[in-house]
Each structure stands twice: as structure tokens, then as C-alpha cells.
């Protein structure tokens, strides 16, 4: 048992190191620093322009801080959720290393978790830059009235995203190079359904109901309450912050259990069908 835990820790540690190297090592540190600032700021500027065109009162509209915050923290969804699932496709098809990683005596799940950690670190950099730009450049006022809610929601949400990302990585083990679509489709769907950039009340009721069942909806709502003092969705207004956290605990635990189960099953199917070194060549 101790040996397996040690191997899992090795996987997390080295997976994180590798992930960070791949994300940051493609250019000089100075250029990477510039990229790390410009990319998220450019993303948020697109949102600002769209908002200025569409919304009354422009940035003074009371909804804007909520939309800004939702979009900012959605960077985690893109990076972590689709990033981890992409890891499998990238390691197998691009680097040709998945089979060697897999047959090393470490925990494959731990390795995926480590790659997720690297994505989380990178996303954190982007989120911090965006938040700073929002406060300084766009006049968004953030409060830290409920630091416990902020820390609790942030950690639970990130763990949840990592688990669901690993779950998608398990699915990606079984599909070919176009597997990257899985992560992107899920991340895109969540942007729409989780009320990232608009209130859920704007969605038709079946989609609204679906959105209310998704963990990122509650996560973003908890973060808005922690940093802005109020939420965005009227459907969730009856829930206390403690209840929101409780929902996050439950969905994170469910994500953890599902990811372990699904990755385990996907591994078995991949070994049975010989997919661990699949090169689709198209």
C-alpha cells in the first residue's frame, strides 16, 4: 500500500513537472511572461468589446462584474478540463511516449493528476493577471468579505475540474487523434450551460435545468458571492453559501469516484484492444 502511494506521488510530482515544462518551455522565460499576460487580457478584452456593444450602460451595467468573473474563472475550465484530456492524445500521438509512461511503475492516475496540476498552475497565472486587469483597467470592484467561501469554493472547484478532466482523459484513451474534440466540446458546452457569461434565466428551461445540475454552475456562483458579495443566478439565490459548498463537496467527491472508475475501465479496454500506442496517422 505504501509502495503504491509512493508511486502515485512520483506520478503526481513528475507529471506536474513535465506539464509545466511543456506549457512554459517552448520559448524564452521573458517571452513566456509576456505571453502569459497578453493571452488572458486579450481574451477578456474581446468580452469587454462584446459587452460594450450589447449591454446597456456598458461596463457600468451591474451584471458586468458577474460576467467578468465568470469568464475569468472559466479559464480554469478550458485549461484544466480540456487540457488534461488532451494530455492523453498528445502523449500518445504527438510525443509517442504514452506507452512508456504507462509501463513505468508509477500510478497512471497520479500522472494524469500531475499533468492537471500543471494546467491548474498555468490557469492560475492567467486568472490572476485577468483579475488584476479587471480591477485596475476595468474598474471591477472585488471584495474579500468571505475568504472561507473563496478558498473553499476555489479548492473544491479546482479539484472537481481536475477529476472531470481525468475522467475525459480516460475517455480519450479509447478514441483516436480527434479525441481532443471531447475536451473542447465539453468545455464549450459548459460555457453555455453554466451561466458563465449570462444569467441562466436566459436559457430555455430544459437547458436551464441541465445547467443547474452541473458542478461549475455552483462553483462560479460561489466564487461570485465570495468576491462580489452576490450571485448571478436567481435560481440559486435561495441556497445559502454553506449549501453551495456542500453541493461542491458532493459533486467533487462524485467526480473523484467517477474518474477513478472510468479511468480504470478505460485502461482495461485500452489494454485489451491495444490502444495505448495507437498512432492514427490522420
Q: How far is the CB of 203 from another protein (least distance, A)?
A: 39
Q: How far is the CB of 121 from another protein (least distance, A)?
A: 17
**Distance, CA of 43 to CA of 72 (rounded, Å):** 9
The vertex-83 CA angle with 125 and 214, nearest 5°, equals 95
Give 198's contacts (C-beta < 8 A, 6+ positions apart).
67
Q: Which of 36, 37, 104, 262 binds another protein (CB under 8 A)?
A: 104
Answer yes or no whether residue 143 interacts with another protein by CB under 8 A: no
x/- binding map, residues 21-40, to another protein, per CB under 8 A?
xx--xx--------------
Burial class (CB in 10 A: 0-12, 13-18, 19+), 215: buried
Q: How far is the CB of 4 from another protein (least distance, A)?
A: 8
For residue 152, the Cα-to-chain-centroid distance in whole angstroms is 16
Q: How far is the CB of 148 from another protein (least distance, A)?
A: 36
**Distance, CA of 18 to CA of 4 (rounded, Å):** 21
Answer yes or no whether residue 274 interacts with another protein by CB under 8 A: yes
Q: Which stretch binds another protein (CB under 8 A): 122-130, 203-211, 241-249, 274-282?
A: 274-282
For residue 211, the Cα-to-chain-centroid distance in whole angstroms is 16
Q: Which residues bind another protein (CB under 8 A)?
A: 4, 6-7, 10-11, 13-14, 17-18, 21-22, 25-26, 95-97, 99-106, 111, 271-272, 274, 276-277
Amino acid at each position: 500500500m505504501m509502495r503504491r502511494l509512493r508511486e502515485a506521488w512520483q506520478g503526481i510530482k513528475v507529471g506536474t513537472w513535465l506539464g509545466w515544462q511543456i506549457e512554459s518551455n517552448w520559448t524564452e522565460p521573458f517571452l513566456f511572461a509576456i505571453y502569459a499576460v497578453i493571452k488572458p487580457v486579450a481574451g477578456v478584452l474581446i468580452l469587454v468589446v462584446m459587452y460594450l456593444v450589447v449591454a446597456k450602460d456598458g461596463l457600468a451595467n451591474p451584471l458586468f462584474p458577474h460576467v467578468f468573473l465568470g469568464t475569468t474563472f472559466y479559464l480554469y475550465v478550458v485549461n484544466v478540463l480540456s487540457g488534461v484530456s488532451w494530455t492523453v492524445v498528445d502523449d500518445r500521438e504527438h510525443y509517442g511516449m504514452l506507452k512508456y509512461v504507462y509501463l513505468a511503475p508509477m500510478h497512471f492516475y497520479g500522472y494524469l493528476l500531475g499533468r492537471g496540476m500543471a494546467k491548474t498552475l498555468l490557469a492560475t497565472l492567467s486568472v490572476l493577471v485577468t483579475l488584476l486587469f479587471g480591477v485596475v483597467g476595468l474598474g471591477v470592484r472585488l471584495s474579500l468579505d468571505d475568504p472561507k467561501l473563496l478558498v473553499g469554493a476555489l479548492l473544491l472547484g479546482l479539484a472537481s475540474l481536475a477529476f472531470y478532466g481525468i475522467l475525459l482523459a480516460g475517455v480519450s484513451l479509447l478514441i483516436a487523434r480527434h479525441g481532443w474534440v471531447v475536451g473542447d466540446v465539453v468545455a464549450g458546452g459548459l460555457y453555455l450551460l453554466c451561466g458563465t457569461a449570462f444569467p441562466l434565466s436566459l436559457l430555455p428551461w430544459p437547458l436551464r435545468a441541465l445547467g443547474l445540475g452541473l458542478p461549475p454552475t455552483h462553483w462560479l456562483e460561489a466564487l461570485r458571492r465570495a468576491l462580489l458579495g452576490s450571485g448571478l443566478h436567481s435560481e440559486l439565490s435561495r441556497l445559502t453559501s454553506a449549501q453551495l459548498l456542500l453541493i461542491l463537496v458532493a459533486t467533487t467527491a462524485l467526480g473523484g469516484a467517477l474518474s477513478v472508475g472510468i479511468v480504470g475501465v478505460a485502461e482495461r479496454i485500452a489494454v485489451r484492444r491495444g490502444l495505448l500506442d495507437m498512432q492514427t496517422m490522420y
